[in-house]
Every structure is written in structure tokens, then in C-alpha cells.
Amino acid sequence: MKEEERGIASYIDHTILRADATEDEVKQYCREAREHHFHSVCVNSCHAALVSRELKGSGVKTCCVVGFPLGAMLTEAKAFEASAAVREGADEIDMVINIGALKEGRDGFVEEDIRAVVKASKPAIVKVIIETCLLSEEEKRMACRLAESAGAAFVKTSTGFSSGGATAEDVRLMKEEVGDRLKVKASGGIRTPEAAREMISAGADRLGVSAGMKVL
């Protein structure tokens, strides 16, 4: 593997979240992640145990999404899913905020929603998906502040299942807001090496990529 490929690979959460993803496809993603030293394999929580087994001893993390892709579930449901995923082997949890609550100014509710998942996920870290394509600049900044206050480790741009994905502009804005206190994950629409490098240059610490092999 070329040095640049190795460098980009270390940023990538190799992601397969399609509704029709099969166990054989998930296993293939795990084999690719082991071979190319991706940071993690990111899956729906039903695949947590499978991925954890497939990646055992590789150094590649198991990442699961929670409240995905809408974020409009009961807080208790999100927390339960997170706890169950960690019990099944997840090292990292990517949760979706309650976007409607944020947009109507129920900041306390949004913060407590995140905090409940952070608590339920221990010792796994939590990345908070804010779905930037649906938010104003101030809403993006507020979502970052709430994630930080609630104890999250990352803020993340997008699910990849809404009307838009990651942009370098949003990554820069989020990095400006959280500084070095939290990390930033860019996700959604990153399909080329050029796009990956652009996000890293803008301040992304991690990349959510379903086309990981193409990016390499």
C-alpha cells in the first residue's frame, strides 16, 4: 500500500448501512478493513456482534449507528440500542440528534437526548450526527455546543441518507466551533481521494465512507 493510501485509510470508517446489506457483504467490508487498516467498520446495530467477531485482533474498531437515520426515536430507545450495541462489541457509537427538537429551540431536550446515549454507550465513544444539510449555520453551531456539553467525543456532519452530505465548508464551521475539544467526522458523499483530502484539509479527523476501496 502506498504511504498516501495508508494515511487516508487510517481516517476511514468503512461504512455499510444500506437496508439490504447482507451478512456476506458486511464480512467483505471487514476483510477490506483488515487488509487496508481502516479505522473502523460502521454498521447498523444488528451487525455489531458479527463485525466484532470478524475484526477481533485486527486493531480495526467496530462502529454502530444509533437512532439512524432520522434521530426521531424516543431517547430511551436510542439509549437502549446504544447499550445493546456496546454489549455486542461496538467500540464507537454514531447517534443522530433529534433534528426537529433542535430546529424548534428545545436545546435542553437535545442535550439530554445526547447525554443519555453517551451514558449508555460507556466505555464506547459517541459521535453525534447533526445532519448539516437540514440546519442553518446557527443551528449547526448550537448542535456542536450541545454535543460538547453532553459529553460526546465527535460531531459528525451527515447520515448520508438525507438531502445532502458532507461539505468542506461545514467541516470548517464545525471545527471552528469545537476547536480541539471534540473531533469532527465528515460523512456523506465522499467517493474520491480528492474529496477525502479536501475534508481532511478542512479539519476532519475521521471520514465516513461507503466507497472506501474507491477512495483508496
Residues 7-20 have pLDDT tens digits of: 899 999 999 999 99
Taken as a whole, the chain contains a residue count of 216
pLDDT under 70: residue ranges of the chain = 1-6
- pLDDT value at residue 79: 98
Q: What is the pTM of this model?
A: 0.96
Residue 3's pLDDT is what?
Answer: 56
All domains in the chain, ordered by first residue: 3-215 (3.20.20.70)
| Residue burial 175-196, b: 16+ Cβ < 10 Å; e: rest | bebbeeebbbbbbbbbeeeebb
Q: Cis (ω within 30 of 0) for the bond into 193?
A: no
Give whole-number Cα distances, 155 to 3, 26, 159, 194, in Å: 28, 25, 12, 22
Distance from C-alpha of 11 to C-alpha of 212, rounded to nearest angstrom:
10
> Known catalytic residues?
94, 156, 185
Instruction: For 17-47, give one letter per residue: b (16+ CB within 10 A) or e.
Output: beeeeeeeebbebbebbbebebbbbbbbbeb
pLDDT tens profile 122-153: 999 999 999 999 999 999 999 999 999 999 99
Q: What pLDDT is recorded for position 36?
A: 96
**40 near 59, Cβ under 8 Å?**
no
